[in-house]
Structure 1
């Protein structure tokens, strides 16, 4: 597997094409090492949890990994509220402002929508729907 270019390993670059405003991408910047690929085959649980497959390791804001976990939890059947409650158990979750999290949820829904146009497999469509559900939930909190 070929590694992505170095710039793609910075969160503000990876999601820049999907944010509403260019300045919103800067909210994703940070120096934390992020896994970013929280699918069920990348978290191995035995006597402890292990993260494997770091092919999309990214540097960015520390709240991004719990945010990305939210989408997988929704795709696995949790409501957006319940998924965020689980994310809240991760200390770094609270380091993202509610507005930044909402902007990221919308950006991630755009990312998955574009993936869904390219790939129509069940796995991708689950994430298209989960990310859209989360983005709608976040927008509803602003009302």
Structure 2
């Protein structure tokens, strides 16, 4: 499987489910997982974007350790993609506008959880490696992006 083929799979899955699980490492070295709404943006290959509040704990965790893993899966869990990489925490107005244009309509839960604050920042995951699983078929492909 090529990088392009794998990223196309990610795009197809996200177009349907609109969610993924992000794993970070906390201050004590323990993994922390949470559901997020990630997206790909055309013209920005091999990068996954999401937004968060600058007031959430994950931002402190990411500033201390930018290594992350995402898990994105179909509703039937017959296709699962794990993406490993580094997150850049961005507070640039241009990238915020671009990501919000892509994700805005899918963020109802984010705004409900973040109702006291209207500010947000962008999490830019630079994908270094991805593994595509088809558990029922015993298929596993790992692609390096380095």
Query: Which structure would you say has the larger RCO, counting Cα contacts within 8 Å and 6 or more residues apart?
Result: 2
Q: Give the structure with the larger strand fraction.
A: 2
Output the TM-score relative to the length of structure 2. 0.29
Output the TM-score relative to the length of structure 1. 0.29
